[in-house]
Structure 1
Amino acid sequence: RNGNEGSITRKLDKAGVTYDTIFWQDVVKRTYVPKDGFNILIVMISLGLHARPDVLKSTVEDLTKTMQGVSDTIGFYLGTCGNYGWNIPKWCASNGYKPAFTFCDCNGNVCDDCVGINVAGGPRYMEMEKKYTGYLYVFPAMASNYDDFMNADKSESLKIENSITDEMREELGIEPGPDGYMRWLLRLGNYEHILKIDTGIGDRENFDKNVSVVAKRTALSVKVAEDGWASLQPTDDLYKNCKSKLPQ
């Protein structure tokens, strides 16, 4: 329990999965005693860290060191987000840590960001960029957590927005507010559409609605990715690999 657990608890509640929310110190100090059998410990970190790669890396590595005494294996459900070449499982192995896995394509190459994770790797991501140039890629996790993604560096964004005078806004065509600034940035990058990538998981009930909200806020039209682009291979393999290393 650290204030970042909202998205996962909503999913668990909707699925009818029972769980305990606990403070990290209770895990570290062993004051929390898990139930006998197969237990999954989920440590949530701020989505905003994707905008601060150095802090993301140090946070994850520090947590990993602490988790050595309370886990049998660790699955890293995250992208490297600007830390290209950061292979967390290899880093764990080099330090003699517990078995660790992250999202990888079918050839074992790390999926470096959230889009690569959803389309099964960098090479497919590059092919998709060739086919869908000028698109903002939106999948269920991003659609339902759009504000968390966009508020990654809110204080810095506010400074930039506050520095823009009314004359500059009129000259550049920047509408008021954070959505107006984002629309302007997207226009600068020649973005015209949202590419809706349906992975088949996540918030199914609200996916269409969430995508529509993002489209309205970004002033982009919605296009649907052709069948075959989305893939759960990295997600399925990550879970299977972790489970294979648990004591029998």
Structure 2
Amino acid sequence: MTNGTLAMIACPILEDEMIYSILNDPEDKRIYLLKNKNTSTLVPKLEYHNIDYINIDEKDFFKGTVRIADDGYSIVIWMMDLGLHSDPKHLGDAIRDELARIDGIVDGVALYYGLCGNGLLGIIDWCKESLKTPVTIFKGSDGKICDDCICVPLGGSDNYLKLVRRYPGVMYLTPAMACSQDDFLSSQEMFQGIEMTGMTRDEYMKFMLDLADYKYALKIDTGMGDQEHFQEECERFVKRFDLQLKRLEPEWISTETADRIYSEAKSFLKD
């Protein structure tokens, strides 16, 4: 039986993998959700899967006015702002600040992120040098940190490279990306300074896709997330940007990195 508190710090685009980990662990656990503005897509998924959770105000948690049970296994979910991706350096600085903030309050951290434009390059070495609390992140079987949210469902960087060679010049759509496409697009670094172009975001996106000769979007069905609306949201995306939709063959999909991050994170806690 696991004893201790695990923090899951997550980007909204990788919250489906976090829910997958919780659902596939049969061990009894208490789930605490730090209440902030970044939980809007997560809460309906928790409720859809009948995952019981306790809402805690984020400020109260860090003030210490709300107490986590000190017996048994507890998980604290802390969702980050998707908008951090608009600047990889800012994202890296912000995540380091938040990790330092939660250091010593929990017994282990699972960081549901990839390198994200190299904003988190060197993050695990930094954690080992700067924090008391052990931290893990999405990695392939070779130990390399996953590049981004597309690399994660492919099982690691090697398969990602193979995918890019197999399907060059396409937009990739996971369930979280397709079903949160407006927020996802708004968070991208490429849109900084867009007002100087005189274009809307969609016009600029279409211009960039045409410039790169992108003709397809690739549906990457992880089996996670909002399966009810995934197909229609993919269709909305391709219609929006005048692309054609292809479906990635199921044999490409893997839960290996999701299984690995959760297993390693739980190993930080006491049996």
TM-score of the two chains, using structure 1 as the length reference: 0.88
> Which residue pairs with 2:88 in the alignment?
53
> Which residue pairs with 2:229 in the alignment?
206
Runs of 4+ more than 3 Å apart: 153-158
1:197 counterpart (220, 245, 248):
220
> Which residue pairs with 1:90 in the alignment?
125
Q: CA deviation at 1:89?
A: 2.4
> Which residue pairs with 1:159 in the alignment?
195
State how far apart, in whole Å, the 1-side matches of 2:117 and 2:188 are: 15
Q: CA deviation at 1:131?
A: 0.9
Query: Which amino acid in the other structure matches residue 110 of structure 1?
Result: I
Query: Which amino acid in the other structure matches residue 31 of structure 1?
Result: T
State how far apart, in whole Å, the 2-side matches of 1:117 and 1:128 are: 12
> Which residue pairs with 1:15 in the alignment?
49
Corresponding position: 1:24 with 2:47: no
How many residues get paired?
235
Q: Alignment partner of 1:21: what SS?
A: strand
> Which residue pairs with 1:145 in the alignment?
180
> Which residue pairs with 1:75 in the alignment?
110
Q: CA deviation at 1:69?
A: 2.4
Contact 1:89 1:101 in 2 (8 A): yes
- Indicate the percent of aligned positions where both proteins have the same amino acid: 33
Contact 1:84 1:112 in 2 (8 A): no
Q: Alignment partner of 1:66: what SS?
A: helix
Task: Indicate how the Cα distance of structure 1 residues 48 and 96 shifts in structure 2: closer, same or farther if over 3 A, else same.
Answer: closer
- Please, which runs of 5 or more residues in structure 1 have no aligned partner? 165-176
- Please, which runs of 5 or more residues in structure 2 have no aligned partner? 1-34
- The structure with the largest strand share of the pair is 2
State how far apart, in whole Å, the 2-side matches of 1:8 and 1:156 are: 27
Task: Indicate how the Cα distance of structure 1 residues 39 and 70 shifts in structure 2: closer, same or farther if over 3 A, else same.
Answer: same
Deviations 1:163-194 (A, max 9, x none): 35xxxxxxxxxxxx432221121111110000
Deviations 1:106-155 (A, max 9, x none): 11111021111121222211111111011101111111111111112698
Aligned pairs for 1:106-121 (under 5 A) are 106-121=141-156
Moved more, 147-156 or 24-33: 147-156
Structure whose alpha-carbon radius of gyration is higher: 1
Q: Alignment partner of 1:104: what SS?
A: coil
TM-score of the two chains, using structure 2 as the length reference: 0.81
Q: CA deviation at 1:83?
A: 1.7
Larger RCO (CA under 8 A, 6+ residues apart): 2
